[in-house]
Amino acid sequence: MAKLQQLADLVGGEIKGNAELDIFHVAAIDQAGQGDITFVANRKYLAKLDFCQASAVILAPGIDAPGNNLIICENPYLAFAKILTFLQVPERPVKGIMPGAWVADSAVIDKTATIYPGCVVGERVSIGAGSTIYPGVVIYDDVTIGQDCLLHAQSIVREGCRLGDRVILQPAVVIGSDGFGFAPDGDGYYKIPQVGIVVLEDDVEIGSNSCVDRAALGETRIRRGTKLDNLIQIGHNVEIGEDCILVAQGGIAGSTKIGNHCTFGGQMAIAGHLKVGDNVMIGARGGASGNVAANQVLSGVPLMPHKEWLRATMTVPKLPEMRKDMQKMKKRLEELETLLKEN
């Protein structure tokens, strides 16, 4: 529970209404009741406030909602996230190394870290203050994990990899699996040892069942603040810049370098050994087969400017009719050519 004024101070907002109001939960606009706070980040939902039972609402400047207790702030969506964290995300308990966890004698575990039963922590591993390692996690030898990290059940971090502070691995993530490297050998293939590592910088989050392959030599690196959704494959020696967003079921092939603040939609694909500049947005199912310059919004395969892609996709349903028209035109043209020859 918190007073409305306390929540406003948390998000740097301005109060309109009863600052001493008690708030217990954050709720969706059509489900909120007394004691709840909700938010409107998109003006198209403002009409729902007429029927909303929430005790308070988070709104952007310039929007009025008479009769409601308000927190006015520049970014209601961000304010919602911060208030939700404050009110409803419990602090993780510090339990130390719990019975049933296997931890190598040479591992260095901060006294405020928590290692749940069923975990395996290898030789010379370092785990920082406040980090939590949930059941079934396997951490190979020589791994470094920073402060306040969260490794969910069944995630794996292989040998030598490094995680910064506040890194989150959702369930069944694999960090440092072998890169896909094989040298042709007659009719078969010889496995190329993958002796590099993966580095995840501070505030990186990796979604469930995603894989980040270790480098053949050197590093695969995901830079500060980047977020990967579920079911994403990152190939060996890839570099991804800061504050990027990669949506589910995408893949980036080996040795490609991605700039800062890029956003890639679901099922995107980026070929290997490419460079993608800063501030690039690629729509769902978009595919890059060549280098991509910075500051573009693109879609499709092959990639094209998003507005052109929209026009192209609008044409697709008309193709059968256009084909019939072209066949008629071709037939008519042949008839005209025949008449010209006869004359």
In the numeric block, which tokens belong to residue 181? 């490297």
Q: How far apart, in whole angstroms, are the C-alpha atoms of residue 109 and residue 84?
A: 31
Distance CA 120, CA 55 (A): 47
Element at 269 (helix H, strand E): strand 269-270
Map tokens 């929007």 to a residue: 63
**What is the distance between the alpha carbons of residues 66 and 111, in angstroms, rounded to a whole number?**
52
How far, in Å, CA of 192 to CA of 182, rounded? 5
Rg over alpha carbons for the chain, rounded to the nearest Å, is 27
SS3 234: strand
Q: By CB neighbour count within 10 A (0-12 exposed, 13-18 middle, 19+ buried), where does 120 fall? A: middle
Any idea which residues carry the catalytic annotation?
Answer: 236
Tokens coding 215: 């480098």
